[in-house]
Amino acid sequence: MTTQRIKVIQWATGGVGKAAIQGVVAHPDLELVGAWVHSADKHGQDVGTLAGLDPVGVLATTSVEEVLATDADVVVYSPLVPDETQVVALLRSGKNVVTPVGWIYPDLERSGAILDACREGGTTLHGTGIHPGGITERFPLTVSALTASITHVRSEEFSDIRTYDAPDVVRHIMGFGVSPEQAMSGPIVGLLGAGFKASVRMIVAELGFAVDPEIETVQEIAVATAPIEAPIGVVEPGQVAARRFHWRATVDGVPVVTATVNWLMGEEHLDPAWEFGPEGERFEVEVTGDPDVKVTFKGLQPASIEEGLVRNPGVVVTANHCVSAIPYVVAAQPGIATYLDLPLLAGRAAPHLGRAR
């Protein structure tokens, strides 16, 4: 028995976009029918080739109008920075949107344009990803069902940022290889905060904590004590070589939900002396209650810097989470759908092991 496959457009072909294309091509329920690209030199190229695959017979375009006119069911929207006007246009054109760059748990009172577009297009918007977008809300909520009388939920990332192949982003947006003053006043805490605060609010709302009005944001830095070789160039002594961010919801000043990011350029030559600990790079989800439950995710960071620069698992799983959500989002009622609105999401068997559809 065969069923009609879901038609997918990929928006942007950076690291996440390329991995999403690979995931769509491997998914038995999905068909790639288009891709929007930013740079003119990618226009007209085969999308498979752009993603490191054999040609798939679909050509990339820089034309938004062409994308909007393409017959498709869903767009995987993965630019570096989201543009709500683009998302509204896609939804209004009758295309569902799955994205790793926002809308994980949006304030519906401030989402009027999105909701109007969903009603007009009969479409659904779903924000997902990995951190935020899974580690900070979907998986903690799942784990929380195993315990009772919960007093604290923690999600935390420990990653070597040298494995992230985006030198301009790492230096100029993430704030590595610059002075502490530049890093602390840079844009990254605001960009990250939009997603992580939403994640924290989802946990707070679903578990029923009576939290204080404001979510705390804390950022810390460590500087290099000796030159550190990195893909962004040499990080000199005194420049930022590690960053830590916390977002905390509190009850009477005591944290009850915490999301934390630890990004290090290795574990040597740092002041203060930070390290990943004996478990190495990882993601953790811990729910303190009766009893305490802790889950450690391994395999989401590359085994080496060199491997990460070629294909970073953290980027790939971000894309995979988007691709896996597509059938469920397409089947959902129009509107904004969070993890609280969708059923259990699952991946699919490898093509050579799957049954005919």
Summarize pLDDT for 38-70 with one digit per residue, the tens: 999 999 999 999 999 999 999 999 999 999 999
Find the mean pLDDT for residues 306-322: 96
Domain ranges for the chain: 6-129+316-353, 138-299
Q: Which of 115, 125, 116, 130 is nearest to 95 (CA)?
A: 125
Percent of the residues in the chain that have a pLDDT greater than 70, as a whole number? 99
The CATH class of the 6-129+316-353 domain is alpha beta
Find the mean pLDDT for residues 295-324: 96
Mean residue pLDDT across the chain:
96
Q: What is the pLDDT of residues 160-189, one digit of tens each?
A: 999 999 999 999 999 999 999 999 999 999
pTM here is 0.95
Specify the residue for token string 């995987």.
76
Q: Is the pLDDT of residue 2 over 80?
A: no
C-beta separation of 101 from 131 below 8 A: no
Provide the pLDDT confidence category of residue 355 given band limits of 50, 70 and 90.
confident
- Quote the pLDDT of residue 3: 74
Q: What is the pLDDT of residues 122-141, one digit of tens each?
A: 999 999 999 999 999 999 99
- Quote the pLDDT of residue 357: 61
Find the mean pLDDT for residues 25-33: 97
- Quote the pLDDT of residue 347: 96
Q: What is the pLDDT of residues 192-201, one digit of tens each?
A: 999 999 999 9
